[in-house]
């Protein structure tokens, strides 16, 4: 299979790349697959013509994994048009191309499609109600994809993604923790962190599964994050503990830390559907955090 991965310089794109190149188990299993990784230089999702040009000048792909997205949650409040182009209109265009070329599409979405007020873990069919521009554009992308591709596509919603790559909460805490004796961290937003390597592994598992290979399967939404639930403050405390950083994480409320974009309070998602459908085991967040910090120490 020819598999196109967008967002090659992002956390998830780089994590898929790392697994395809280094994990011998996955490598052996994926040996009949050719992965093509592209960034905005090759395929600019902010440009309709760049997208058409890219697919017109390349052979058909069997699968597209769309890891690229406009992910600057606060900036999206002012760059609404750009966020909408990348997270919605480009996804629509990718779906149209995938539909025409009979390509399977795996698209990554977010827990921010929910308003966080449910009080219990969200399942895939729960009502969406995004409370910021980023969430609205990602939901619009989901809807466009589902409308154009009633079959042959898959949306994986994930949350609080971190990795060895790029900018993320774990790396920010490690940096600030070394510079300061104490920091204030929001303690009333609850969710589940996702180590990008774990999500990348699951995506590769899915691609080789029997369920995925069955043609004209109905398009589905799945939720994926690590297991367990936690606040940002508790997450910060654990990061300091594992990395042996001497910094205190003081709890503050969301109101005490105003940001341009509103954040949902509790976006914990149920992962039962993806675990059951593809028989994947989902690691607890603490174990995965250990793995990531270990990787960071080695780099
Ligand atoms: N990060 C999170 O906490 C989080 C939470 C929930 C869901 N998600 C979703 O998970 C997926 C992967 O996220 P991630 O954490 O890997 O994000 P990321 O690290 O921010 O990577 C996103 C990638 O998209 C690329 N991109 C942005 N605009 C583009 C454009 N116009 N054309 C082509 N590429 C463009 C970026 O390119 P450059 O490197 O050139 O900027 C970047 O490599 C996304 O769909 C995101 O919405 C993420």
Pocket probe mutation, ligand 1, options 5, 6, 11, max atoms within 8 Å of Cβ: 11
Using CB distances shorter than 6 Å, the residues near ligand 1 are: 7, 9-13, 39-40, 43-46, 67-71, 86, 108, 110-111, 138, 158-161, 166
Pocket probe mutation, ligand 1, options 49, 54, 69, 85, max atoms within 8 Å of Cβ: 69
Share of the chain above pLDDT 90, in %: 91
Nearest CA to ligand 1 atom 43: 10
The predicted model scores a pTM of 0.96
User: Do residues 64 and 34 make contact, with C-beta atoms less than 8 angstroms apart?
Assistant: no
C-alpha 92 – ligand 1 centre gap (Å): 17
User: What average pLDDT does the segment 120-144 reach?
Assistant: 98
Write the pLDDT tens digit of every residue in 139-191.
999 999 999 999 999 999 999 999 999 999 999 999 999 999 999 999 999 99
104 φ/ψ angles, rounded to the nearest 5 degrees: -80, 145
The pLDDT value given to residue 26: 53
User: Do residues 85 and 67 make contact, with C-beta atoms less than 8 angstroms apart?
Assistant: no
Residue 215 confidence class, pLDDT cut points 50, 70, 90: low
Nearest CA to ligand 1 atom 33: 40
Report how far residue 248's alpha carbon sits from residue 227's, in angstroms, rounded to the nearest whole number: 25
Residue 217 confidence class, pLDDT cut points 50, 70, 90: confident
Label residue 169 exposed, middle or buried (CB < 10 Å: 0-12, 13-18, 19+): middle
Q: How far is CA 184 from the centre of its chain?
A: 26
SS3 59: coil
The residue whose two tokens read 């619009």 is 140
Share of the chain above pLDDT 70, in %: 96
Q: Which atom of ligand 1 is nearest to the CA of 169?
A: 3
User: Do residues 158 and 107 make contact, with C-beta atoms less than 8 angstroms apart?
Assistant: no
């Amino acid at each position: 299979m020819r598999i196109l991965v967008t967002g090659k310089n992002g956390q998830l794109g780089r994590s898929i790349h790392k697994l395809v190149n280094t994990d011998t188990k996955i490598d052996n299993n994926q040996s009949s697959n050719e992965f093509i990784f592209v960034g905005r230089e090759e395929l600019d999702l902010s440009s309709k013509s760049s997208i058409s040009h890219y697919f017109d000048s390349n052979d058909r792909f069997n699968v597209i994994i769309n890891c690229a997205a406009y992910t600057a949650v606060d900036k999206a409040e002012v760059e609404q048009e750009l966020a909408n182009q990348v997270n919605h209109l480009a996804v629509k265009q990718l779906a149209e191309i995938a539909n025409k070329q009979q390509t399977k599409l795996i698209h990554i979405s977010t827990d921010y499609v929910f308003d966080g007020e449910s009080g219990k873990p969200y399942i895939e069919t729960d009502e969406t109600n995004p409370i910021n521009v980023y969430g609205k554009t990602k939901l619009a992308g989901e809807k466009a994809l589902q409308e154009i591709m009633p079959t042959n596509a898959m949306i994986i919603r994930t949350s609080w993604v971190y990795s060895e790559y790029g900018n993320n909460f774990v790396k920010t805490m490690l940096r600030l923790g070394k510079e300061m004796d104490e920091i204030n961290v929001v303690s009333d937003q609850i969710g589940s962190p996702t180590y990008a390597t774990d999500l990348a592994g699951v995506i590769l598992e899915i691609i080789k599964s029997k369920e995925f290979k069955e043609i004209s399967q109905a398009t589905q939404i799945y939720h994926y994050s690590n297991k367990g639930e936690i606040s940002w403050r508790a997450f910060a405390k654990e990061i300091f503990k594992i990395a042996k950083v001497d910094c205190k994480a003081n709890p503050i409320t969301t109101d005490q830390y105003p940001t341009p974009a509103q954040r949902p309070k509790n976006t914990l998602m149920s992962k039962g559907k993806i675990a059951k459908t593809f028989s994947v085991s989902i690691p607890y967040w603490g174990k995965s955090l250990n793995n990531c910090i270990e990787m960071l120490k080695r780099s």
